[in-house]
Amino acid sequence: MVTVTFLTPPMRDKIVVEVPDNTRITLLNLMKRFNLPRKCCGEGKCGNCAVKVMPLRKSARLVSLSEKEKRELFQAGKLSIEECESVQVKDIPPRWRLACQYVVSDEPVLVAF
Ligand code: FES
């Protein structure tokens, strides 16, 4: 079981979701299940589903970015050249991710938007 915590300013309280192990679900689909809608394409083409994803463990290893996600985050102004290099060279995940592309893993995360 992994914990995904959603936090967004209009909400008074955070939403904490327990996701069973080996559940292949994107953050966007998880958000839809809990009525946290975003106006977006759902296909990795609009950049409107960008959310901040923060690991809740120090030793977290988050899933790396696909070229498609890098391109959309860069075009949406959510990924700098420096962060892009950190992703490629040091395997450090960026602050922003596309909710439609980020598949929930075994890392507990805080998702803010
Ligand atoms: S839903 Fe459009 S980029 Fe993610």
pLDDT tens digits, one per residue of 52-111 = 999 998 776 666 788 899 999 999 999 999 988 888 888 778 899 999 999 998 899 999
Sheet holding 50-55, edge to edge: 15-19, 2-7, 109-112, 50-55, 96-98
When divided into structural domains, the chain yields a total of: 1
Check residue 2 and give its pLDDT: 94
- What are the DSSP calls for 49-84, one per residue? TEEEEEESSTT--PPPPPHHHHHHHHHTT-S-HHHH
Site residues for ligand 1, CB cut-off 6 Å: 40-49, 72, 98, 100
Check residue 54 and give its pLDDT: 93
Rounded Cα distance between 107 and 2, Å, is: 6
Ligand 1 mean position to 104 CA, how many Å? 16
Domain containing 34: what range?
2-112
pLDDT tens readout for residues 21-30: 989 999 999 9
Ligand 1 atom at minimum distance from 72 CA: 3
Q: 17 pLDDT band (50/70/90 cuts)?
A: very high
CATH for 15: 3.10.20.30
Of 79, 76, 73, 81, which is closest to residue 98 (Cα–Cα)? 73
Ligand 1 mean position to 110 CA, how many Å? 19
Give how far the C-alpha of residue 93 lies from the chain's centroid of Cα atoms, to the nearest Å.
10
55, 109 Cβ separation under 8 angstroms: yes
pLDDT exceeds cutoff 80 at 37? no
Mutate to test the pocket of ligand 1, among 26, 29, 31, 41 (most ligand atoms within 8 A of CB): 41
